[in-house]
C-alpha cells in the first residue's frame, strides 16, 4: 500500500470561505447561552416570599412558585429589570431571566406587603 501525502495550499477563494465558516461556527457556539446560568426558586406562601433578599448572577433565572391558596401577581419596575408576570394561580410557577446587573425590587400587585430584593451581580 502506497500512501502519499500532499500539502497544497487552498486557493484564496476557498481559504476565505473556510475562514468565514470557522468564524461563523465560533460565533454560534459562543451565543448558545451561558452554561453557568442557574435557576433559583422563590416560593410564595402565607402571603410572603420565601426570601426577602436574593443574590443571583446575570443570566440566572428566578422562578416564582405560588404555593399559597390565592393568586399572586409578581412584578418589578426596577431599572435593572422591569417585568410583570401576570396573575399566577395557586400551584403554578412563572419565571424571569435577569439579564443585567443591579437591584431588582420585586412586589406582588395584589398584596403590597409582599416584597423582596434581588441583587444581580456580574
Residue 40 assigned as binding residue:
no
Q: Are 59 and 82 in contact (CB under 8 A)?
A: no
Q: Is 114 annotated as a binding residue?
A: no
**DSSP for residue 79:** S
Cα 84 from Cα 108, distance rounded (Å):
10
> Could you tell me if 117 and 102 are in contact, meaning their C-beta atoms sit under 8 angstroms apart?
no
Q: With contact defined as beta carbons under 8 Å apart, do 64 and 70 qualify?
A: no
Do the bridges between strand 102-108 and strand 115-121 make them parallel or antiparallel, or are there none, so unpaired?
antiparallel
Distance CA 47, CA 72 (A): 9
Query: Is 72 assigned to a binding site?
Result: yes
Binding positions for Cu cation: 72, 108, 111, 116
Which residues are part of a known binding site?
Answer: 72, 108, 111, 116
Amino acid at each position: 500500500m502506497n500512501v502519499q501525502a500532499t500539502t497544497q495550499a487552498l486557493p484564496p477563494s476557498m481559504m476565505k470561505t473556510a475562514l468565514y465558516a470557522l468564524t461563523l461556527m465560533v460565533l454560534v457556539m459562543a451565543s448558545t447561552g451561558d452554561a453557568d446560568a442557574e435557576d433559583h426558586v422563590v416560593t410564595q406562601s402565607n402571603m410572603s416570599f420565601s426570601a426577602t433578599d436574593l443574590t443571583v448572577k446575570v443570566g440566572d433565572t428566578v422562578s416564582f412558585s405560588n404555593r399559597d391558596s390565592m393568586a399572586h401577581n409578581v412584578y418589578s419596575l426596577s431599572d435593572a429589570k422591569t417585568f410583570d408576570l401576570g396573575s399566577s394561580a395557586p400551584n403554578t410557577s412563572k419565571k424571569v431571566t435577569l439579564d443585567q446587573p443591579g437591584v431588582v425590587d420585586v412586589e406582588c400587585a395584589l398584596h403590597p406587603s409582599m416584597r423582596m430584593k434581588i441583587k444581580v451581580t456580574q
